[in-house]
Amino acid sequence: MEKKQKVHFLQNAPVLLTWSIIGSAGAYTYNSIIFKYIREASTSTSRDFFLRMGFYIGVFLVSIPLTLLFDRFFNNNRYVNKLYGKDIDNKDILTKAQMIKSGQAQFYIALLLFTTISWWSFDTLGGNFNSWYRKYGQHLTSLRSSSEKARVKSLHSLASSGNSKPWLMKIFADRLKKGTKNEKLTIIWLAGSNSLKHPDIIKEIQNGIKSNDASIKNNSILALTRIMEVPGIETVRFIEEELKKYLTAGKKPPVQLVFAAAFLRTTEFINLFIDMFKINDETLSVILSYALVWVSGPTPIQISRIIRQLKHNISKGSERLKCMTTIALTFMAQSLDDESLAILRREFEAKSSDFRCNPEVFSLHFNEKKRDTINITKLTIRGFTYPAHGKVHYRERILRILALNRDDSMLPWFERMANNENINEYLRGLAKQAAKRNKNENQIADW
Helix (H, G, I), strand (E, B) or coil at 11: coil
Q: In the chain, which stretches have pLDDT less than 70?
A: 1-8, 80-103, 162-163, 195, 379-390, 406-407, 437-447
Amino acid in the structure at residue 355: F
The per-residue pLDDT for 101 is 55
In a domain, 239, yes or no: no
Q: Are residues 115 and 151 in the same domain?
A: no
Q: Are residues 304 and 207 in the same domain?
A: no
Q: Are residues 392 and 269 in the same domain?
A: yes
Contacts of 100 (CB under 8 A, 6+ apart): 78, 81, 82, 88
The per-residue pLDDT for 83 is 64
Q: Are residues 397 and 433 in the same domain?
A: no
Report yes or no on whether pTM surpasses 0.95: no
Q: Are residues 397 and 253 in the same domain?
A: yes
Of the candidates 290, 335, 326, 289, the residue with the CA atom closest to the CA atom of residue 309: 289
In a domain, 280, yes or no: yes
Rounded to whole angstroms, how far apart are CA atoms 226 and 239? Answer: 14
Q: Are residues 358 and 420 in the same domain?
A: no
The predicted-structure confidence for 171-220, as pLDDT tens digits, reads as follows 999 999 999 999 999 999 999 987 677 889 989 999 999 999 999 999 99
In a domain, 387, yes or no: yes
The per-residue pLDDT for 444 is 41
Q: Among 200, 229, 258, where does a domain finish?
A: 229
CB atoms within 10 A of CB 193: 16
Q: Among 66, 100, 135, where does a domain finish?
A: 135
The per-residue pLDDT for 331 is 84
Q: Are residues 66 and 117 in the same domain?
A: yes
In a domain, 369, yes or no: yes
Of the candidates 137, 140, 210, the residue with the CA atom closest to the CA atom of residue 175: 140
Domain span at residue 435 reads 406-447
The per-residue pLDDT for 443 is 44
The per-residue pLDDT for 388 is 55
In a domain, 423, yes or no: yes
Q: Are residues 302 and 380 in the same domain?
A: yes
Helix (H, G, I), strand (E, B) or coil at 117: helix
What 147-156 contacts at long range (C-beta under 8 Å, 24+ apart), as own/partner pairs, is 148/180, 148/182, 148/183, 151/179, 151/180, 151/183, 152/182, 152/183, 152/186, 155/183, 155/186, 155/187, 155/190, 156/186, 156/190
The predicted-structure confidence for 225-251, as pLDDT tens digits, reads as follows 998 877 778 889 999 999 999 999 999
CB atoms within 10 A of CB 334: 9
CB atoms within 10 A of CB 138: 18
Q: Are residues 181 and 300 in the same domain?
A: no
Q: Are residues 52 and 84 in the same domain?
A: yes
In a domain, 209, yes or no: yes
The per-residue pLDDT for 3 is 66
CA 178 from centroid of its chain's CA atoms: 24
Q: Are residues 44 and 125 in the same domain?
A: yes
Element at 393 (helix H, strand E): strand 392-393
In a domain, 445, yes or no: yes
Residue 132 buriedness (CB in 10 A; 0-12 / 13-18 / 19+): middle
Structural domain total, the chain: 4
In a domain, 58, yes or no: yes
Q: Are residues 225 and 258 in the same domain?
A: no
